[in-house]
Structure 1
Amino acid sequence: MFSRTERDLVRRRLLDLADHDPAVVAAAITGSHATDDEDRWSDIDLAFAVSEPLDAVMHRWTRHLYRDFAAVHHWDLPSGPAIYRVFLLPQGLEVDLAFSPEGDFGPRGPKWRLVFGRSAPPQPVMPGGYDVIAGLAWHHALHARISIERGRYWQAEHWISALRTQTIALACQRLRHPTSYAKGAHLLPPTITGPLETTLVRSLEETELRRALSAAVAALSAELTRTDPTLADRLRPILSDLAASDDDPREG
């Protein structure tokens, strides 16, 4: 794995490259390094405002990353007008470069430190939609049960794990912790994480999948009761049915 020294050197080289690129009119450090929360395992997160078409600038920077930094692979994540190009460097160092049109360059959250150039005023951060998270949770519970009935046990394991992820997100949102990618999961109290341990799928046996789904549905119901008792009451009959054992195959 990469060292702190190697990571910091790569970051300085990238910022120097940006400073000498006439198409990059502003740059910012984002992520944990911007707020001094970086640890030994943090990756590199940078954002660039560009005055030329994004495709051309990103193509040029991609050549730099492969030629000068020995990049192994990359992929893109669009986000509004920006595109995050995510690179994997040797020794497992991840480099996330966000390219934005000049007029759309600005912070989308607190983890932002302008290095040079100008940025737009901070944009209000919209909280994650509770209904979306809750909706994904019951959706995943439903599809986990259907997958079991169809005998698609790997798919069932996928949906049970995805259900647990949404339950964690609901708890994190309620307690004002980060909700994405389980970033706030380690901050949850044992009273929440303890029952979630029982939702882990230990094998692909049908009885085990049914047990794990029942535990996952119980954890979801408990969290819904804490956050939205009205919704919990409406969903309870359906969730109880999904958690119940039923040997009759279903179609659909």
Structure 2
Amino acid sequence: MEERDLIRRRLLNLADQDPAVVAAAITGSHATDDEDRWSDIDLAFGVRAPLDAAMRRWTQQMYQDFAAVHHWDLTSGSAIYRVFLLPHCLEVDLSFSPEVDFGPRGPSWRLIFGRATPPQAAAMSGRDDTAGLAWHHALHARISIERGRYWQAEHWISAMRTQTIALACQRLGHPTSYAKGAHLLPADITGPLETTLVRSTDESELRRALSAAATALTSELTRTDRTLAERLHPILTELAAINRRPQGSTPHAQLPQQH
């Protein structure tokens, strides 16, 4: 933690000395005093100059002065998050935003210097969108099983479980992205989800896990939107049918083609 704090202070000092960086904030767990030994360094910069020029300079500095091992980018609106991996498994997330758009995007925010735009209302992920992704993943899990693409089926079943967790977190007011609120869910929700874990890529196991995932999804939908649950229930029941396909039958004769 001492090394991480030292690096954070060095980065903020560099930002204060950079004429292109007109504002800076600490984000993430450190901003809300929830940091532990495993936390990342999360900083946000408001940039007056073109973002690409500022990011090139900062990237060069991260490799030269902080021995960065690798980096990649994540875009959110006008902001670009450049994510660096440093030695000793330390992650550093630097967000670069145009000056006019620099401001809090959530509660994990502490302004260090400069000015920030007023906070914007968080765009809530619609329940219909989350539920739609869930049934989409169920559909493609079933199709993947029928096609004998068992690793792909495992991917879709796990993705389906992720959306079920997001629905529960959304309903209870917990963070929904990256399962950040999953540990806050009660046992009556997380317990049944354990049965959705895929234990092998055997076809019968994949069908069992898909059936369990469909049951868990239906239970959560019943809590959040009973009308939608009733509409989706027949489809989810059909998709999660455990029975193996009859010998010689067409693998996905009654299912729509996967896009």
Local SS of the residue matching 2:82: strand
Rounded Cα–Cα distance in structure 2 between residues aligned with 1:107 and 1:178: 16
Distance apart, 1:126 and its partner CA: 2.0
Q: Does 1:210 pair with 2:207?
A: yes
> Which residue is equivalent to 2:71?
74
Q: Does 1:30 pair with 2:27?
A: yes
Which runs of at least 4 in structure 1 moved beyond 4 Å after TM superposition? none
2:50 maps to a residue whose letter is: P
Local SS of the residue matching 2:122: coil
Distance apart, 1:6 and its partner CA: 0.7
> Which residue is equivalent to 2:37?
40
Q: Does 1:250 pair with 2:225?
A: no
1:127 equivalent among 124, 128, 148:
124
Q: Does 1:114 pair with 2:116?
A: no
Aligned residues: 249
1:178 equivalent among 161, 175, 178:
175
Alignment check: 8 A CA contact 2:154 2:198 kept: yes
Alignment check: 8 A CA contact 2:43 2:95 kept: yes
Distance apart, 1:59 and its partner CA: 0.1
Cα deviation digits, residues 16-59 of structure 1 (max 9, x gap): 00010011011000111111111111100000011110000000
Cα deviation digits, residues 108-153 of structure 1 (max 9, x gap): 1111111001111111112221111100000000000000000000
Please say which of residues 186-195 and 66-75 is displaced more in the overlay.
Answer: 186-195
Q: Does 1:102 pair with 2:104?
A: no
TM-score, normalised on structure 2? 0.95
- RMSD of equivalent CA atoms: 0.8
1:21 equivalent among 13, 18, 23:
18
Rounded Cα–Cα distance in structure 1 between residues aligned with 2:8 and 2:112: 12
> Which residue is equivalent to 1:144?
141
> Which residue is equivalent to 2:82?
85
Give the unaligned 5+ runs of structure 2: none
Local SS of the residue matching 2:92: strand
1:95 maps to a residue whose letter is: V
Alignment check: 8 A CA contact 2:204 2:244 kept: no
Residue identity over aligned pairs, in percent, reads: 78
Q: Does 1:222 pair with 2:224?
A: no
Rounded Cα–Cα distance in structure 1 between residues aligned with 2:137 and 2:31: 35
Rounded Cα–Cα distance in structure 2 between residues aligned with 1:123 and 1:250: 46
1:154 equivalent among 145, 151, 155:
151
Rounded Cα–Cα distance in structure 1 between residues aligned with 2:187 and 2:109: 32
Q: Does 1:12 pair with 2:25?
A: no
Alignment check: 8 A CA contact 2:161 2:193 kept: yes
Rounded Cα–Cα distance in structure 2 between residues aligned with 1:96 and 1:115: 16
Local SS of the residue matching 2:81: strand
1:250 maps to a residue whose letter is: H
Rounded Cα–Cα distance in structure 1 between residues aligned with 2:2 and 2:244: 57
Rounded Cα–Cα distance in structure 1 between residues aligned with 2:132 and 2:214: 13
Give the unaligned 5+ runs of structure 1: none
TM-score, normalised on structure 1? 0.97
2:131 maps to a residue whose letter is: A
> Which residue is equivalent to 2:55?
58
